[in-house]
Amino acid sequence: MLSRIAHAVRTAITRITSPGTTAQPTVAPIKKRILIGVGAVGVFATAAAIGVAPLSPDDALPPTTRVTQALLLPDLADQVLRDEAAAPADFIREERVQRGDSIASLLNRLGVDDPEVEKFLRTSPEAKGFYQLVPGRTIQASTDVLGQVRWLRYLHTPGADVDGKVVSKMLQVARTDAGLNASEVQFDTDRQVRMAHGEILSSLFGATDAADIPDSVATQIAEILSGEIDFHRDLRRGDHFNVVYETYTHQGNYVRAGKVLALEFVNKGESHEAIWFDQQPGATGGYYTFAGKSLRKAFLRSPMEFTRVTSGFSRRFHPILKTWREHKGVDYGAPTGTPIRSTADGVVDFVGTQNGYGNVVVLRHSGQYSTLYGHMSAFAPGLKKGQRVQQGEFIGKVGSTGWATGPHLHYEFKIAGNAVDPLTVALPGAPDLSAKSLALFRSYTDPLHHQMELLAKLNGPTGPGLPVAAK
């Protein structure tokens, strides 16, 4: 039966495709019957034979011709090469400079195989910064599939302050149509806000290290609360703190920490608070308690950070004049070139040379206060009379000009023109916020205050000391 069906199918196909063959009446029904018959054989092996109707001699099909044509298929390998030429792939790699690294070892780790770039780095004066490698900094290379450099970047200054923004400065060697060139480029960083908690076991820096808080933030904590807590003597095991501070990143990589925005430190059971506020028109920013009281003193006690007093405010035997005279200031011994800072906001009243004082700066402050800085080796660049300076601003360097036997700073503090002892005088506090500024303070600092409350709830009075990140 199967052989009869197969024979009928072959006969029908021969009649349809053979040139000059006279076809029988209807073609479509015949094809349909043939397909049904073949399908039935595949599905039911025991099915009965299916008849094939003979072609009618009255209906003739037009003559047909079999045409065979070779189709050219695309060469896939050639297509891949054309795509790569149209859009060349860049491979960007990054390595961190390690102690003992050379530019050659870094290029090797970066997969750079480019003699032209290597020669340019050796011979170009503009590229010499690539040989001033600092451990911990990063270097990036963009190369093609053959290892040829498109650009090479060394991040030499990851967190620079430029026009009020934090940027990353890089030395770049780039390939252009004119050849290789070196230039400095800078990229904006992304700012985030981070919350963290720490607990004192031995020291402040030990606590911040355990909580993965940068050292610069720990230093700020100590400076902000220096008038409230002696961080060398007052800390106790179990003291704890919550802090909110800025961080800056570039391409997802940490660049540096920024300013402390809010802080709560519990020392010996007493809570000390600080929150940054800089929204007052025409005023510099500062730290306040959550209630809006300024933490800033109007004057710093000392015009230098780390120094020693070599001569106090008293009557003394003058080492040069060889007579007993009133010493109307305090002498701070320090190496030549040590930075000197303004102890308060003020205006430069005098900058120049005076008999005995040598190079001297006199600042006039609010009220009846004035300060004097003598025996300087140099003034701050561009410092001039009438210029406004801020508390802590660099105004000059320690020296031994005038009547001085060695490098030191002579510092005087005057009230209504009368010299007083800078080490014992009761320093005025900074003014509190006005009613208008206090309302602005509330609206600006409430979100930060809320973050501090949330962090306190998460950690409790003796929390785990784990940092909590938040944008």
Predicted confidence at residue 464, as pLDDT, reads 35
Q: Compute the average pLDDT of residues 329-351.
A: 92
Predicted confidence at residue 218, as pLDDT, reads 93
CA–CA separation, 11 vs 117, rounded Å? Answer: 77
- Report the interhelical angle of 2-17 vs 28-43 (nearest 10°): 150
CA–CA separation, 342 vs 421, rounded Å? Answer: 17
Higher-confidence position of 331 and 52: 331
Q: How far is CA 451 from CA 177, 196, 459, 461, in A?
A: 53, 11, 12, 16
Predicted confidence at residue 20, as pLDDT, reads 46
Q: How far is CA 2 from CA 6, 8, 34, 38, 40, in A?
A: 6, 10, 13, 10, 11
| CA-closest candidate to residue 445, choices 293, 298, 297 | 293
CA–CA separation, 311 vs 412, rounded Å? Answer: 12
Q: Compute the average pLDDT of residues 99-119.
A: 90
Q: How many residues does the chain have?
A: 471
The gap from C-alpha 135 to its chain's centroid, in whole angstroms, comes to: 18
Q: Is the pLDDT of residue 302 over 80?
A: yes
pLDDT digits (tens, 9 = 90+) for 146-188: 778 899 999 888 888 888 789 989 999 999 888 899 999 888 9
Q: Compute the average pLDDT of residues 236-250.
A: 93
Sheet holding 286-288, edge to edge: 286-288, 270-277, 253-267, 240-250, 190-199, 468-469
CA–CA separation, 169 vs 182, rounded Å? Answer: 13
280: amino acid identity, one letter: Q
pLDDT band at residue 58 under the 50/70/90 scheme: low
Q: Is the pLDDT of residue 307 over 80?
A: no
pLDDT band at residue 197 under the 50/70/90 scheme: very high
457: amino acid identity, one letter: K
pLDDT band at residue 446 under the 50/70/90 scheme: confident
Higher-confidence position of 328 and 84: 328
Higher-confidence position of 377 and 404: 377
The percent of residues in the chain predicted with pLDDT above 90, rounded, is 34
Predicted confidence at residue 265, as pLDDT, reads 96
Q: Is the pLDDT of residue 5 over 70?
A: no
DSSP string, 236-253: -TT-EEEEEEEEEEETTE
Prediction pTM value: 0.57
DSSP string, 13-61: HHHHHSTTPPP-S-SHHHHHHHHHHHHHHHH-TTPPP---PPPPTT--P
Please report where in the chains the tokens 């007493």 appear, as a residue. 270
Among 98-102, 396-400, 461-465, name the one with the lowest average pLDDT: 461-465
Given its phi and psi angles, is residue 410 left (phi above 0), alpha (psi -120 to 50 degrees) or beta? beta
Q: Is the pLDDT of residue 393 over 60?
A: yes
Predicted confidence at residue 356, as pLDDT, reads 83
Average pLDDT in the chain: 79
pLDDT digits (tens, 9 = 90+) for 251-295: 888 889 999 999 999 999 999 999 999 876 666 788 999 888 888
CA–CA separation, 217 vs 247, rounded Å? Answer: 10
Those residues whose C-beta lies under 8 Å from the C-beta of residue 390, and which sit 6 or more positions away, are 284, 342, 345
Roughly how many angstroms between the first and final C-alpha of the chain, as a whole number? 82
76: amino acid identity, one letter: L
For CA atoms 144, 148, 151, 156, give the dihedral sign: positive
CA–CA separation, 301 vs 286, rounded Å? Answer: 18
Higher-confidence position of 73 and 224: 224
pLDDT band at residue 10 under the 50/70/90 scheme: low
pLDDT digits (tens, 9 = 90+) for 206-232: 999 999 999 999 989 988 887 788 787
Predicted confidence at residue 346, as pLDDT, reads 94
Higher-confidence position of 323 and 46: 323
Predicted confidence at residue 61, as pLDDT, reads 61
What domains, with CATH codes, occur in the chain?
A: 1-62 (no CATH), 87-188 (3.10.450.350), 191-296+459-469 (3.10.450.350), 308-420 (2.70.70.10)
Both structure tokens of 243: 């802090």
Q: Compute the average pLDDT of residues 392-398.
A: 94
| CA-closest candidate to residue 387, choices 405, 364, 406, 403 | 364
Both structure tokens of 56: 């009618």
